[in-house]
Structure 1
């Protein structure tokens, strides 16, 4: 077991070296090269969340390998929770946005503006900060000391809320929204919805997020169950935490593989023969 710290150090290092440049480039193309649309506003903030998370990975390593730095542990765990909540909430908001486009295209064409999306983004970040501010103790018990005092009842309640608000409820809302969009596309035979590039990217972001974060929640529930051996839970929690960073490394791939079409997507708003059923929007 003595090799585990070095092994996880290598994994975290690879995640940082792969994720930081990719997320930085995606942040550049979404922030500087795209036209200002409501969809671009949502995806830009999704990229910001990934970039903040991956760029703060060295802080996570510091909190793991230098256990006397309590402030680093708390800050790292808060950033981890902030990223999880912001990613889940932003994916939920984008999915609902797609659903509104399919359900009320006329209203969306008139009222769905970058300004409205900006306020929606602010509310999303405020909710994420509010939830994450109370979970600074949620650092995986992997290759770290578990001797710090915690209120057992409070921890169990917090982990449950963490799972419900940051995983299960967003997943349910996203699935409902996406199913409605796909159903509307099939019933209306609207090829514009099916070919909608942001929807394609979203269908890539959603499964990777929830699959990569599922082990994180599973091992926290196992951790508080106190019926499993701690060493194995510590190793499993460490791997689960690595998967959360892998998610932030995979997300840029969906943007980069579809970059050309995604950057052309707002131009369809200038075509008078196309309706807004696809999510096309007036460029402001």
Structure 2
């Protein structure tokens, strides 16, 4: 498929041009304008992870198409794994926090402080780094020969173990631990009208973030298992790896839209900004 490199380059270019400004904008608003809460701490850390991931797109393109060197391949693979694990773990934290907000709002607002959220976020980064160091050579070492250098060979048994750990810790377990609190939020929303507003607002962001993350990262894990089975042709594997890579980058571009359009803190920021603009507008009288 001779069109594949050009197709891959164009899509990566669009994702880079969209993802870097969007995630930078989320970081700017979260750091300077939005009230600091436990929720904003989660979104700030996820935006940092998405920004690092999208900023490193040129690194991946450079070593795949131009400079096929092992250090660039390892660095890109480590960043990919770090982003995947950190995003999954932070998504679990968001789901559990929103479950507490829906079921026990007073207790959650008192106990789930921004300071506690910062410590939990630091723990997720440390845990993600530990898992990433075990998978620092997997992604590119399993790519088809035309897309990578032949100077590095990965041990098959080590690859199988790392792929299994990566699938369980970076996909299956986070999926379960994200869906269970979401179902609890849905159950809370059905308890009565007095809790309906408190429960449905956290549910909106979860219904946007959870399906998007796991749908976009599912081909990543499927590609690994197909590569280990060695039953596909190199051309087909090249297409599959490119598709999985693009989807993982697309997820980093979609997250800012969910933050800005569904999250309460960001919506309150937009409301305050609009009210200031309306109040300062000449010719308008203040509302009663």
Q: TM-score range by the shorter chain?
A: 0.7 to 0.9
Contact 2:43 2:259 in 1 (8 A): no
- How many residue pairs align between the two structures? 266
Give TM-score scaled by structure 2 length: 0.86
Compute the displacement of 1:205 (Å): 1.1
The C-alpha deviation readout for 1:146-186, integer Å capped at 9, x for no partner, is: 63311000001101110100000000011111001110121
Contact 1:67 1:144 in 2 (8 A): no
CA distance in 2, matches of 1:195, 1:178: 11
Give TM-score scaled by structure 1 length: 0.87
**What 5-or-longer segments of structure 1 have no aligned partner?**
268-284
Change (3 A) 1:26 1:41: same
CA distance in 1, matches of 2:218, 2:149: 22
CA distance in 2, matches of 1:67, 1:150: 20
1:225-264 pair list within 5 angstroms: 225-258=229-262, 262-264=266-268
**What 5-or-longer segments of structure 2 have no aligned partner?**
272-288
Counterpart position of 2:163: 159
The C-alpha deviation readout for 1:30-72, integer Å capped at 9, x for no partner, is: 2211111111111111111111111111111112113432111
Counterpart position of 2:182: 178
Counterpart position of 1:277: none
Contact 1:85 1:166 in 2 (8 A): yes
Contact 2:16 2:55 in 1 (8 A): yes
Change (3 A) 1:53 1:134: same
**2:134 is the counterpart of 1:134:** yes
Counterpart position of 2:42: 42
**2:9 is the counterpart of 1:6:** no
CA distance in 2, matches of 1:256, 1:30: 10
What's the C-alpha RMSD, in Å, of the aligned pairs?
2.1
Q: Over alpha carbons, which structure has the higher Rg?
A: 2
**2:140 is the counterpart of 1:144:** no
